[in-house]
Amino acid sequence: GAVVSQHPSWVICKSGTSVKIECRSLDFQATTMFWYRQFPKQSLMLMATSNEGSKATYEQGVEKDKFLINHASLTLSTLTVTSAHPEDSSFYICSEGRETEAFFGQGTRLTVV
Amino acid sequence: GQNIDQPTEMTATEGAIVQINCTYQTSGFNGLFWYQQHAGEAPTFLSYNVLDGLEEKGRFSSFLSRSKGYSYLLLKELQMKDSASYLCAVRDTGGFKTIFGAGTRLFVKA
């Protein structure tokens, strides 16, 4: 069964609104989780590293004020896309980090209209 | 900088063997992963190599040469369901941060 639960699996929102995506680790206390974005026919681009109890670490070019990450517990990290615009439409995926493999959530297909 | 290269597309025949290559140049190295991803779905883990050599798991094998910055994924007895994108990913040192290559789209034909 799944070890990382991500939801919603898809969401459609109006331009200018905010969307929250949740990522839960089901069987592991994940002090670190990762958020990726994937555009059609492209690979996963790391957006940020979510650290439990501290600020997230963002990759170069990712706006931290637009993509808010909260990792308040060892089992839950959230990504909030604020003031979403059509160009933010993408597939967002979270993963947890373990020693020899990484488990991914199911992904969230965000469409901003 | 970080650079992971793999072919964009490959085509192979059902029942055959295919090898997908990956070369990498990264500032740190703490393991190399291969993932399979079907369109619209999240990646699923296939293999992990941290030491040089070949790791075999059923129809899938993965090879690593750290000195050459090179890995390959070998798929045997290809099935139609193997048509997917295959992602090569390198984990950086000092944590679990993982950088992905652009992926190789494999088409398996009858």
- SS3 (DSSP) at B80: helix
Chain B interface, best mutation among A6, A44, A71, by max B CB count within 10 A: A44
A54 and B CB contact within 8 Å: no
pLDDT over 90, % of chain B: 79
* pLDDT average, residue stretch B94-103: 85
Tell me whether residues A102 and B97 touch, CB distance under 8 A: no
Least confident of A33-37, A66-70, A76-80, B1-5: B1-5
Rounded to the nearest integer, the mean pLDDT of chain A is 90
- Decide if pLDDT at A111 tops 80: yes
More confident of the two residues A98 and B12 = B12
User: Exposure string (b/e) for A16-40, b if CB count within 10 Å is 16 or more?
Assistant: eeebebbbbbeeeebbbbbbbbbee
pLDDT over 70, % of chain B: 99
Determine the pLDDT at residue B9: 97
Residue listed under structure tokens 């963002």: A58
Determine the pLDDT at residue A72: 80
- Decide if pLDDT at B73 tops 80: yes
Q: What are phi and psi of A76, to 5 degrees?
A: -140, 125
Tell me whether residues B43 and A42 touch, CB distance under 8 A: no
